[in-house]
Structure 1
Amino acid sequence: MDLLEREAVLQDLTGHLQAAVTGPGRLALVRGEAGIGKTSVVNRLAQLADPRIRILVGACDPLATPRPLGPLTDLAPRLGQAVRTALTGALAGTCRSDEVFDCLLADLTSYPSLLVVEDVHWADEATMDILRYLARRLPSVPALVVATYRDDEIGRTHDVTALLGTLAGYPWVYRHDLAPLSRRAVARLAGGHTVDADELYHVSAGNPFIVTEILAAPGESIPATVREAAAGRLAGLSAAARRVVDVLAVLGRRVPLPLLAGMLPASEEALDEAVAGGIVRTDAQVTEFRHELTRLAVLESVPAAYRLRVHRQVLTAMRSRPVVADDLALLADHAEGAGDPVAVLEYAPAAAAHAAALGAHREAAAQYARALRYADLLPLGRRTSLLEGHSQACLLSSRLDEGIASRRKAVKLRRVLGDRLREGEDLRWLSCWLWPFGRTVEAGRTGLDAVRVLEGLGPSRELARAYLNLCQLACYEHEDVRVTAAYAEKAIALGERFGDAGVVVQARFHAAAANMLSEGSGWGECEQAVSSAMAQALPEDAGFLALIMCWFAALQHDAARTAAAVDRAEAYCLDHDLLSYLLCTRAWGSWGLLSRGSWAQAADAAQEVLSHPSSPPVVRALALTVLGLVRARQGKARAWPLLEEAAGLVDSDCLLDTGLGWEARVEAAWLTGDHELARTEAQRGLDALAERSHPWLSGPLACWIGRVGGAPPEVPGAGPYALELAGDWAGAAAQWDGLGCPYQAALARLSGDAPALHQALAAFEALDARPLVARTRAVMRTRGVRPVRRGPRAATLANPYGLTIREMEVLKLLNEGLSDAEIAARLYITPKTAGHHVGAVLAKLGVHSRQEAARKLHDSKR
């Protein structure tokens, strides 16, 4: 397994080792907090070392009375007899410790070595002296000495601090810090797990140990190992320091030092002890736990009565001074902890509104939910407003089920209050979010209800948005272009009248999109609308339109446009915390990867979407469909259950509207040889499209009917589908090639002549589309076309080890010391695919490590 984001440190250490064994020697200090991966790094360094280098690893132990020369005792069996004899004598008191030092130096001088001393922060005095002794003499020794220590556990008076002072003047001493993992790396580790990667990053602060423990215990809010690690650190604190830590745990994240001093006067020494113990850290005027999960583990152990008392004290103290916006979330937290519902209802809604204004939608949803727990104390109108705020925040943070439930309650309460304007607005919002929830029929019905309510009240900004919603639904459901345009005109007129720029830009976008989907023109106008929304600082409108462009590009199988649209939408949604839109963008990205033949990457991307616990039903249906198609095209089992699961998540119309569902089901049936099922599924889709106009949906279904031996119905087909329906397989294949879709191009060539069949077979073999390889060979036999026996390529035959061109590329990158992740980035493949190539290279070369493979490359050049 690759060590994420440790490549640079490993490369530096490997360079030190190569330089040290030929002289002069070096000392490398590897430092970082507990769990950051120091041991993993030195273990990987040992694995990467040349087999001719002797590996010596010893460790210090967290004992009340450290073992004298403990690390040296660990590695003694790998040292010479002289060192072992001197060590035995020193431990028995029959010889001086400096004799051990001299023997160790002589032993290291005689053989190229990597000497690792782990956890020096627990070392005894004699081990510290050994490091001082060796460090001074390393220039004459063919060895790299690596010492690891926790820099979060050494204070000003610690022995390691004194050691570091001694080493400061030696130019052959190098220092390497191990930083926490980035958000991206944590997300990679979370791949395949049903966990919110952003929340995982938040609670772990990127600590690899905490990340892996959470992933290993998904059912536990705080893994037992993390709880025990926190308890172990607390056990070593004095009573005063433990009291400080308990109070900090109750106070929450980033506690101002003046606030702590107000709670616990004269606590400076105790705080210093907690910092030296690696539990908390201070930064200017603020202190906080190193990891949120550690804080939660400590908080869990604080008695409830004590927590209540601290919350009340803090709430009183904070309310005694002017309240600023940044205090609102903390005040709401302490108000709830203090059991003060009135204070919760004072601060939680304000904290939610502040978070929403900053684009922090998940935080806003949590604060609204907190307020709603006490909302029975409020008048009906205020309670309804909280439900509306909670709904909106949930929807934007991809908690659709909670958001829709709150909006349904709000609709009922507005009706009770007789507030028709807000009832209509709530109906419109409900309709908007029922569509991604997969309930397209109810979305349309609810959207019409919203318009009926609002039209009875006269022109309004709310009515403009309600018309826009019907415009969107008409576009997505592929109604007549005139229907979409009519709603767009009404929305634009009211949007301009009431100064709602978002309505105007979205209505123009969807009017152009309806033309594009049915007639093929309008892409430029859609792009202009997206740019306009971004330029006008309309983040929710711009993020939504950027996402829709991903859908339209994928629907038209345009690989280049899909990739560009996905990159733009993903960056924008990340910048503006639009999680629902982000997840949908990534689902369409997986479809784009599938279209351009990157099936392994498509499956990885789809799995990542499915692993996110907040993925909406439509998003999950898209990802499941991509996975099902990859399996079907590769001839793997359990493709159909994935497609069935996707169909069960959403309404049948939604399955069709996305442009994936029915076509995927038809293809999967065809690939298994069930032509009757394929014909039935295709006809069901065409029947549902009977009253609609969408060549990108009807075209493929008609083509599939032709491929299974039926007479293709006369329906509109777009682009290459129209050419295939007209019998121009060559033109269709050429268009597919232009769109960057090798699989679809090969399908079109199945209807072609002998050269076309040879091209199709080569494409299917390259894609590892096993069912299509067999089918193409069968077609060739039927038509009397002899397949070319390709065998290994000439380049492969010319290579002495039988490596392919791609495997030679991988071998050259291995020689650069790159990890699987770095190789993947260089070759534009997934890390998993890179790993497969690395394994194949090692197997063909008959070696067991990357270093041995690199040496084979050097040998072949001699």
Structure 2
Amino acid sequence: MNLLEREALLQDLTSHLQDAVSGPGRLALVRGEAGIGKTTVVNRLAQLADPHIRILVGACDPLAVPRPLGPLMDLAPRLGQAARTVVAGALAGTCRPDEVFDCLLADLNAYPSLLVVEDVHWADEATMDLLRHLARRLPSVPALVVATYRDDEIGRTHDLTALLGTLAAYPWVCRHDLAPLSRRAVGRLAAGHAVDAEQVYRVSGGNPFIVTQILAAPAEFIPATVREAVAGRLAGLTATARRAVDVLAVLGRRVALPLLASMLPGLEETLDEAVAAGIVRTDGQVTEFRHELTRLAVLESVPAAHRLQVHRQVLAAMRSRPIAADDLALLADHAEGAGDPVAVLEYAPDAATHAAASGAHREAAAQYARALRYADRLPTDRRTDLLEGHSQACLLSSQLDEGIASGRRAVKLRRALGDRRHEGDDLRWLSCWLWLIGRTVEARRTGQAAVRVLEGLEPGRELARAYLNLCQLACYEHEPVAVTAAYAEKTIALGERFGDAGAVVQARFHASAARMLDQGAGWENCEKAVSSAMAQDLPEDAGLLALIMSWFTVLQGDTDRTAAAVDRAEAYCLDHGLLSYLLCTRAWNSWGLLNRGLCAEAAEAAQNVLSHPGSPPVVRSLALTVLGLVRARQGKAQVWPLLEQAASLVDSDCLLDTGLGWEARVETAWLLGDHELVQAEAQRGLDALANRGHPWLSGPLACWVRRVGGVPPPVAAAGPYALELAGDWAGAAAQWDGLGRPYHAALVRLSGDASALHQALATFEALGARAAVGRTRAMMRSRGVRPIRRGPRAATRSNPYGLTIREMDVLKLLHEGLSDAEIAARLYIAPKTAGHHVGAVLAKLGVHTRQEAARKVHDSDHTQPHG
């Protein structure tokens, strides 16, 4: 497992080790809950240690009767002969403990050492005494002693607590806490797995062990290893403590102590036992399970009758006192657990509203779904309210099928009720999300139906939003700018009249965006609209505009702007729980990486999007297209199946409008040498664009027609495409270079002279675009241009191992002990790419491990003559 978010701790420990071996010695206490990664950290520390430092590792075991001096027995084979003899005597009972302690101290004085004692919370009394003895005398010893322990398993009366009190007086003792992984780190670990990273973070609490077990068995609701670990801890509890833990599991992850005390007499003693077992913890007046998955594993084993009884007890207790907004979700949960549908319908809808207002859209969807399970007894209008809330929450949390289904049901019920205003609003909402699932034709038809319904009523906010929806669709589908502007004007007029700030800012954004896409002007106004939506705290409007800016910057090929726009959109959508928008942003980012020529990174980003179970069809289509194009450029097989799958997920208009679909098909045909297919696919795209203007879509298709010898139709073409169509290949290539798109610059140079062809070939080779290399060499042969044979670069030739500049960068970071993920973060490359570089470095150095590579270069540096 990559050591994410442990870099600072490793740096501190490495510094302690360097200081200790040159004197004075030190003791480092590394503490954290089970599974937090203490062993992984100390193992990595040992790997980072200089070869001349002796590594001594011993561990305490969870035995009913611990081994006397168990850790010392583990590390004895690495000690000097005298010390080994004394340890053997201690084992045979012929040496006193103080003799053993003095002998170990003398041995540590003889060698610079790293001494690790793991799981001290399980240590026997003699081992505790040994640590006391060593700690007091460490300043005179060239050693770092690292002791790890679980701070969630020691109580006030634990032997280790007394030892820690003694150590508190020593200034050479330092303490380090291992915190759970952040949401971002869990997301990095989950990348490429078919799981919802947010859900993994929620149930694991960021515990690395639990995270890795979930990722290893994503199909299991509770991984067997987690279930067994929890069962092992429960087995050590008394019957009274086990009952308390069962009750806690039924009550929920966080429970107020007064409520718990009202249900469990003698709570303090039993709770202390559960805390000492590392199952729960207390925080002020609240007790909670350390991880939601632990609670679920316990709950799974609680008999159904007992669960029902506890739910009824706690429901009654909570209803007898004032109810806060934060209590609503628990009340709804206990109401369902108690088999009380009336109470479910009393609390679940309010809990859903509260969650949605807090940006917790997944939780809101779950509460609406709970209420809908009992909604048959409700009047139709109230049932429809629930469907509408469920639809919105599902769609914002990327549960698209459920959201669309509830939206369709809501439309039918509103129509049956004769509630035209709500029917029109539901149609508008449905239209917005039909586009995201790739149903552009139905989205447009549904949006127009919404306007027809609402225009027959007194104007209101609903009509403003319906006009806004048509304004958005006109912009996304690249209709004439005047169409988008007309809908924007209607939206703004009604939005200002009825106080809908979100509708107003969105309308201004899309009107400016349409001009930007068609005429190249309007960027500043778009940026101003995004900033305005964020400043006014309009999360759904701001999140949408941020992701749209990401899309449009990619579409226009501006790599600098793309990076900034993607970072902003990702951060905002993460902070506000907008999962659907987040996944869209990440898909367009994969295309942006491809534009920069970073094929491996683009493929990895696209694969991560595809692995997420909530990715919308438009997002999946784009990611599949990126993967297909990467494979095509690399000269790999099975490209067309990916492109056909991408096309099957969405309407043909959507494949075109999102920007990459048809262009990818045309380029793939060219890479395969099929010029007829290039012209046919390009013409299909141009025909679809006949009544719409988008120079960033029509321009590349026309250029491909020209590149294969056809006569391109007169179409609107943006910047570099216009230059290429006018025959100015040098100007077009310069523009692409300025935009940070080397692959496109190389494509344009294929129309140039011999020097341009050589430059294009070098670019394709550097990017690993093997198929384009082959096509370029064929063109050079047909034009009688002889390729220049290139040896290794000068920097590579001068390196004694034949390492490239990038490989030397990687080697330096290997010497620092960094993992692939850490190297990737430092060099701004993908972890897989870093792994490829590491493999190349090891192969060129003729070694098998990272440590061997670091030592070889270290030794080489010290044997080279110095001037």
**TM-score normalised to the size of structure 1?**
0.97
Amino acid at match of 1:639: V
| Whole-angstrom CA distance in 2 between matches of 1:730 and 1:505 | 41
Q: Provide the residue aligned with 1:686 in structure 2.
A: 686
Correspondence list, 1:68-79, <5 A: 68-79=68-79
Contact 1:56/1:78 (8 A) holds in 2:
yes
Q: Provide the residue aligned with 1:730 in structure 2.
A: 730
Q: Provide the residue aligned with 2:850 in structure 1.
A: 849
Q: Provide the residue aligned with 1:85 in structure 2.
A: 85
Amino acid at match of 1:513: A
Q: Provide the residue aligned with 2:197 in structure 1.
A: 197
Structure 1 pair 243–775 and aligned structure 2 pair: CA distance change class (3 A): same
Residue 551 of structure 1, CA deviation: 1.4
Deviates more, 1:331-340 or 1:96-105: 96-105
Deviates more, 1:475-484 or 1:144-153: 475-484
Amino acid at match of 2:474: A
Any idea what the Cα deviations from partners look like across 1:777-812, whole Å, max 9, x if unmatched? 222222222222221111222222322222333334
Correspondence list, 1:781-796, <5 A: 781-796=781-796
Contact 1:730/1:752 (8 A) holds in 2:
yes
Give the 3-state SS of the residue equivalent to 2:436 in structure 1: coil
- Asked if 1:825 is matched to 2:825, the reply is yes
- Asked if 1:512 is matched to 2:512, the reply is yes
Q: Provide the residue aligned with 1:400 in structure 2.
A: 400
Paired residues in the alignment total 862
Contact 2:36/2:180 (8 A) holds in 1:
yes
Give the 3-state SS of the residue equivalent to 1:404 in structure 2: helix
Q: Provide the residue aligned with 1:237 in structure 2.
A: 237
Contact 1:842/1:853 (8 A) holds in 2:
no
Contact 1:750/1:757 (8 A) holds in 2:
yes
Contact 1:737/1:745 (8 A) holds in 2:
yes
Aligned CA-pair RMSD: 1.9
Structure 1 pair 857–89 and aligned structure 2 pair: CA distance change class (3 A): closer
Deviates more, 1:714-723 or 1:192-201: 714-723
| Whole-angstrom CA distance in 2 between matches of 1:510 and 1:756 | 40
Any idea what the Cα deviations from partners look like across 1:660-701, whole Å, max 9, x if unmatched? 111111111211222232222212111211222222111111
Deviates more, 1:141-150 or 1:716-725: 141-150
Q: Provide the residue aligned with 1:217 in structure 2.
A: 217
Amino acid at match of 1:355: A
Amino acid at match of 1:849: R
Q: Provide the residue aligned with 1:769 in structure 2.
A: 769
| Whole-angstrom CA distance in 1 between matches of 2:22 and 2:843 | 31
Contact 2:195/2:611 (8 A) holds in 1:
yes
Q: Provide the residue aligned with 1:433 in structure 2.
A: 433
Residue 861 of structure 1, CA deviation: 7.5
Structure 1 pair 94–825 and aligned structure 2 pair: CA distance change class (3 A): closer
Amino acid at match of 2:460: S
Deviates more, 1:543-552 or 1:385-394: 543-552
Q: Provide the residue aligned with 1:112 in structure 2.
A: 112
Structure 1 pair 535–46 and aligned structure 2 pair: CA distance change class (3 A): closer
Q: Provide the residue aligned with 1:24 in structure 2.
A: 24
Give the 3-state SS of the residue equivalent to 2:281 in structure 1: strand
Q: Provide the residue aligned with 2:126 in structure 1.
A: 126
Deviates more, 1:234-243 or 1:811-820: 811-820
Any idea what the Cα deviations from partners look like across 1:252-311, whole Å, max 9, x if unmatched? 022111111111132111111111111111111111011111011111111111111111
Amino acid at match of 2:788: V
Amino acid at match of 2:547: L
Q: Provide the residue aligned with 1:532 in structure 2.
A: 532
Amino acid at match of 1:852: R
Residue 518 of structure 1, CA deviation: 2.5
| Whole-angstrom CA distance in 2 between matches of 1:648 and 1:377 | 41
- Asked if 1:657 is matched to 2:654, the reply is no
Contact 1:812/1:854 (8 A) holds in 2:
no
Give the 3-state SS of the residue equivalent to 1:152 in structure 2: helix
Q: Provide the residue aligned with 1:37 in structure 2.
A: 37
| Whole-angstrom CA distance in 1 between matches of 2:458 and 2:2 | 63
Q: Provide the residue aligned with 1:579 in structure 2.
A: 579
Q: Provide the residue aligned with 2:698 in structure 1.
A: 698
Q: Provide the residue aligned with 1:625 in structure 2.
A: 625
| Whole-angstrom CA distance in 1 between matches of 2:509 and 2:136 | 71
User: Which stretches in structure 1 are left out of the alignment for 5+ residues?
Assistant: none
Deviates more, 1:10-19 or 1:809-818: 809-818
Correspondence list, 1:170-569, <5 A: 170-569=170-569
| Whole-angstrom CA distance in 2 between matches of 1:410 and 1:636 | 47
Amino acid at match of 2:858: R
Contact 1:513/1:523 (8 A) holds in 2:
yes
Contact 2:666/2:678 (8 A) holds in 1:
yes
Amino acid at match of 1:358: S
Amino acid at match of 2:106: A
Give the 3-state SS of the residue equivalent to 1:786 in structure 2: coil
Residue 854 of structure 1, CA deviation: 5.5
Residue 815 of structure 1, CA deviation: 4.3
| Whole-angstrom CA distance in 2 between matches of 1:65 and 1:671 | 70
Residue 206 of structure 1, CA deviation: 0.7
| Whole-angstrom CA distance in 2 between matches of 1:567 and 1:687 | 35
| Whole-angstrom CA distance in 2 between matches of 1:24 and 1:510 | 66
Give the 3-state SS of the residue equivalent to 1:801 in structure 2: coil
Structure 1 pair 508–166 and aligned structure 2 pair: CA distance change class (3 A): closer
| Whole-angstrom CA distance in 2 between matches of 1:486 and 1:25 | 76
| Whole-angstrom CA distance in 2 between matches of 1:529 and 1:171 | 56
Amino acid at match of 1:723: L
Any idea what the Cα deviations from partners look like across 1:92-131, whole Å, max 9, x if unmatched? 3333233332333333333333222211111111222222
| Whole-angstrom CA distance in 1 between matches of 2:532 and 2:11 | 46
Amino acid at match of 2:195: V
| Whole-angstrom CA distance in 1 between matches of 2:521 and 2:445 | 30
| Whole-angstrom CA distance in 2 between matches of 1:534 and 1:414 | 33
Contact 2:47/2:817 (8 A) holds in 1:
no
| Whole-angstrom CA distance in 1 between matches of 2:506 and 2:92 | 84
| Whole-angstrom CA distance in 2 between matches of 1:221 and 1:3 | 25
Structure 1 pair 530–171 and aligned structure 2 pair: CA distance change class (3 A): closer
Contact 2:186/2:206 (8 A) holds in 1:
yes
Residue 456 of structure 1, CA deviation: 2.0
Residue 250 of structure 1, CA deviation: 0.8
Q: Provide the residue aligned with 1:157 in structure 2.
A: 157
Give the 3-state SS of the residue equivalent to 2:756 in structure 1: helix
Residue 142 of structure 1, CA deviation: 3.0
Residue 702 of structure 1, CA deviation: 1.3
| Whole-angstrom CA distance in 2 between matches of 1:235 and 1:584 | 46
| Whole-angstrom CA distance in 1 between matches of 2:322 and 2:125 | 53
| Whole-angstrom CA distance in 1 between matches of 2:564 and 2:72 | 57
Residue 856 of structure 1, CA deviation: 4.2
Any idea what the Cα deviations from partners look like across 1:512-534, whole Å, max 9, x if unmatched? 22222223333233223223322
| Whole-angstrom CA distance in 2 between matches of 1:809 and 1:92 | 53
Residue 598 of structure 1, CA deviation: 2.3
Contact 1:811/1:857 (8 A) holds in 2:
no
Any idea what the Cα deviations from partners look like across 1:324-361, whole Å, max 9, x if unmatched? 21111111111111110000000000111111112221
| Whole-angstrom CA distance in 2 between matches of 1:37 and 1:424 | 54
Residue 577 of structure 1, CA deviation: 1.8
| Whole-angstrom CA distance in 2 between matches of 1:423 and 1:478 | 28
Contact 1:686/1:701 (8 A) holds in 2:
yes
Contact 1:479/1:692 (8 A) holds in 2:
yes
| Whole-angstrom CA distance in 1 between matches of 2:664 and 2:460 | 43
Any idea what the Cα deviations from partners look like across 1:171-191, whole Å, max 9, x if unmatched? 332222211111111111101
Residue 30 of structure 1, CA deviation: 1.5
Q: Provide the residue aligned with 1:48 in structure 2.
A: 48
| Whole-angstrom CA distance in 1 between matches of 2:314 and 2:795 | 73
Amino acid at match of 1:828: Y
| Whole-angstrom CA distance in 2 between matches of 1:301 and 1:4 | 33
